[in-house]
Structures are given as structure tokens and as C-alpha cells.
Amino acid sequence: MSRKKNIHFEISERKVLLRIVDICVTIFGLYVLQNSINYDYLTIENDNFVSILVLAIYITVFGTIFEIYDLQKSSKLDVTFRNIVLTVSTTVLFYLLTPVLTPFLPEQRLQIIYFYLCIISVIFLWRWAYIAFISTPRFYKKVLLVGEISNIENIIKPLNQSDPNYKIVGFINSETEVDSPIKFKGLKEFESSDLMQVIREEKISEILVASYNSESITPEIYHDLITLLDQGFTIREYTQVFEEITYRVPIQFVGKDFYKYFPFSRSNQNTLYLFFHRTFDIIFSIIGLLFGLCILPIIVLGNLIANKGPLFYFQERVGQNGKLFQIVKLRSMIVNAEAGGAKWAQKNDSRITKFGMFLRRSRIDEIPQFINVLRGDMSIIGPRPERPFFVNELSRIIPFYETRHIVKPGLTGWAQVNTRYGSSVDDSLTKLQYDLFYIKHRSVFLDINIVVKTLSTILYYRGQ
């Protein structure tokens, strides 16, 4: 079957494209600026290679912190502009404060304003062009779903939320017809006999197969899929795509052949990685505790005024390999908040004091846990430790829940920087998917990503 292949960009390609072009347009903008007006603060020439490189690094790092490379946010012009302003403002501030690596302050301070406005302008114009021409239906990846109709809603929702350019245009029910078929109205359904025709007419780029049991796929569909595969057409299995797009492990689709989905990262047993991980834990914990001591007077005063009661709060949590330990936190709830038994923390929970809400949102309440890190009960990065009561409850409901205990729990983690505080079984399932993704792909680069995203969480006041 001959067909014209549509042009589309994968997630990784779009993220790389945004980063590279951000740097290129910045360099181009500064080059135009130096040749247009009396400007010489940072000129584009070989002698300034180090200064230009430092600027590129700052834009990339702070751009990640302020989320200008988040594909969902990058598709919205108002959000993009706000994040660009925050990124460039922080970049220029740090750039001015590192004169050893960057040019010394110019005598005419107005040149700093030119420098600042130039970077904002060229990046914003490029991002406008990205939204207007690249983040459009013309470059969407059009996908046809083949699977069991009972699972479709749970399949398409997370994919649509994670990647705005990944468009599932319709589905074909792979199951044998029954007397009382289930109907799904949220997506266009095509007849299985029309699969080849649908691919041509809808300009499908990929077929996504989502089925609990491959035996349920009808012989007719199976034959068409084999034919397409022989012709080089892209056919992918749902769990692979789900993990690639959402950065979560879809455990609800993992059955008895679970071992196929959990080739855990070698870093979990890598002695060198674990050594540096522990070294980082110790150094960062000492710095964190010193910072905590510096702001302790303010915390004590706030606790006396708006959070009357003990300053610290101790609670039993489940650690690595199911070992119990006592976690220490700054108290954010009223005294005896759980006198009636353990409860999920809810949004706008009345048990959380006003000062306690500030502590939670700013993550300041977590500072005493650096003590747990120094003791070896926790790490800086890892799945958040849960209470034994909830672990017992969730383990009976959610498959593979206790798998998260194969690594040390952490102060921050992949789940914490990607989702809100869990207050239900469904939230716990989502968090577990992120935790298992971290355990499966654990590496230095993922750890750095989590640290950077944690800064975003704190700056945007997104704590629990």
C-alpha cells in the first residue's frame, strides 16, 4: 500500500528543536543588535565564545526550571510569554552576577536593557512561529487505535493530556462481535473491514494496539496488521507508547508477563552510581540543614502565631525493603489531627493551618527530613515514603504497589514533580506509575531532571 508519509515531530524532537532554536535565535538577535545600534555588551565573535556558551547554558537550565520546554505549556501563547519573561529575567540576572565567565558590566547601563529586551523579543517571536506553524494539525501525528472498547477511555485520556500533537483520530474494536456490544461515543469508530481504507483517507502515521489479550484480536484485523508490518508501517504496542509519552509505567495493563515491563535500571545495583548518590545525599542534606537553621527563627515565630503547638511532627513510614522508620517534619496540621484515625489529606483540608499551608506549599516542612537522609533512612531523590496503614490498604488494591520499596524513599521524586499530592486510590495509582518509571529508568540524568523540576515546583508554589 503506497501512501504519502506525513511530516510530524516526536516529543524528543520537539524538545530538542525548542532548545536549539532558542539558542540560535538569541545569538542571531544579539548579532543583529550589535550591527544595528551602539551596542557592545555581548558581541557575537570568537573571542566571546565562553560568554556565549554560558548564556546558552543559562537559557537552557532556567528555561527548564520555568517550563518553557513543557510541550503542553509551549502550545499556549500567554503561558509561553510569561515563562519566557521569567526565564530571561533570571538568566540575565545570573549572567550579570558571574563576570568571571561573562562580560563585565558596561559603562552605559542602557545596554543591559537592550540585551534583556532583545533576548525576550527573539525567543518570543520564535515561539509564536512555533505555535502558529509547527504546533498545528499539519504536524500532528495521526494515530489509529486498535483495541478492546472497554479500555478506550483510560487509554486516550492520558495520551491526549501528555502530548498535544499526538492525535488519536479513531478506533477499531479488535474484539469479536457480541450480541450487545458496548458503544463509546468519545471517539470515532471505524469498521474492522475498513482498516486499510481508513489509513489512506485519514493519513494515519501509526497504529496503536491496546489489548489485554492478543488472542481477542480477530483474524481479519490480525491479517491486516501483518500485511502493514511487512510494508514497513509503524505498529506499536500501547504500553510502550504510554511510557514514552507520559513518563509513567501503565501497571493497569501489565498482566502475568510483568517481567517484560520491569527490566529495572542497572543503576539500582551500580556501586559507583550508589556511591555518588549517597555522597550527594550527605552534602545536600548538610546544606539543607544549615539553611533550615538560618530560617528557624522565622519558622518558630510563625508557629507561635499561626500554628500553635509542637514545632516538629514524628510519624512512622515505610522505607526501603519495607523497613519502618520515624520521619520528622515541621508540623503543618492542627494538634491531634488524626485522633479519629488515619485519613487522606484533601484539597483545602480543614486540618491544615494557614501557616502549615505555607510550609507545605513552599516545601519548608520537609527540611527536617534531611536528618532522615543523613541517617540513611531516606535519600534526596526517590518515591515518597508512605504510612504503613496506607501501604497495607493500597497493596491490596493496586498491583505492584510494594515494588516502589526496592529503592530508598526520597524527599522529592519523579511523582512529586509531575503530579499533585495524592488524596485517593486513583491518585496513588498515578503516583505509583511515576515511581515505577523512576525505578525503571533511574540514572544521573533523570536525577538532575528531578532536581530541576523540584525547583520549578517550589518557585510555582505547587507543594502539597
**Domains in the chain: ranges and CATH:** 11-133 (no CATH), 140-246 (3.40.50.11060), 266-459 (no CATH)
Q: Which of 95-109, 413-427, 433-447 has the lowest mean pLDDT?
A: 413-427
Q: In this prediction, what percent of the chain has a pLDDT beyond 70? A: 89
Averaged pLDDT for residues 427-455 = 91
Whole-number Å distance between alpha carbons of 5 and 231:
13
Amino acid in the structure at residue 386: E
Residue 366 has pLDDT above 80, yes or no: yes
Q: In this prediction, what percent of the chain has a pLDDT beyond 90? A: 44
What pLDDT sits at residue 259?
67
Could you identify the residue written with the cell 497493596? 395
Averaged pLDDT for residues 313-337 = 90
Could you identify the residue written with the cell 513518563? 247
What pLDDT sits at residue 185?
66
Residue 190 has pLDDT above 60, yes or no: yes
Whole-number Å distance between alpha carbons of 317 and 369:
12
In contact, 417 and 457? CB cutoff 8 Å: yes
Q: How confident is the model at residue 52 (pLDDT cuts 50, 70, 90)?
A: very high
What pLDDT sits at residue 307?
82
3-class secondary-structure state, position 51 = helix
Q: What is the DSSP string of 248-284?
A: S--GGG--TTGGGT----GGGT-HHHHHHHHHHHHHH
What pLDDT sits at residue 123?
97
Averaged pLDDT for residues 203-221 = 81
Distance set, CA 431 to CA 56, 114, 137, 176, 438 (Å): 34, 45, 31, 35, 11
Per-residue model confidence as pLDDT tens digits over 145-183: 888 776 677 778 888 778 878 888 888 887 766 544 556
What pLDDT sits at residue 219?
84
Per-residue model confidence as pLDDT tens digits over 10-22: 777 888 999 999 9
Whole-number Å distance between alpha carbons of 318 and 435:
15
Identify which has the larger pLDDT, 212 or 3.
Answer: 212
What pLDDT sits at residue 164?
77
Q: How confident is the model at residue 139 (pLDDT cuts 50, 70, 90)?
A: confident
In contact, 351 and 333? CB cutoff 8 Å: yes
Compute CA 320 distance to the chain's CA centroid, rounded to the nearest angstrom.
24
Residue 204 has pLDDT above 60, yes or no: yes
Q: Across all residues in the chain, what is the average pLDDT?
A: 86
Q: What is the DSSP string of 103-151?
A: PPPPSSTHHHHHHHHHHHHHHHHHHHHIIIIISSGGG-EEEEEEE-GGG
Averaged pLDDT for residues 403-411 = 93
Whole-number Å distance between alpha carbons of 397 and 169:
33
Per-residue model confidence as pLDDT tens digits over 61-100: 999 999 899 888 888 899 999 999 999 999 999 999 888 8
What pLDDT sits at residue 177?
61
Identify which has the larger pLDDT, 425 or 281.
Answer: 281
Closest listed residue to residue 432, CA positions, set 395, 463, 457 = 395
Burial of 273 (0-12, 13-18, 19+ CB in 10 A): middle
Check residue 419 and report its DSSP letter. Answer: S
Segment (H or E) for 171: strand 166-173
Whole-number Å distance between alpha carbons of 434 and 415:
5
Which of 106-120, 137-151, 346-360 reaches the highest mean pLDDT?
106-120
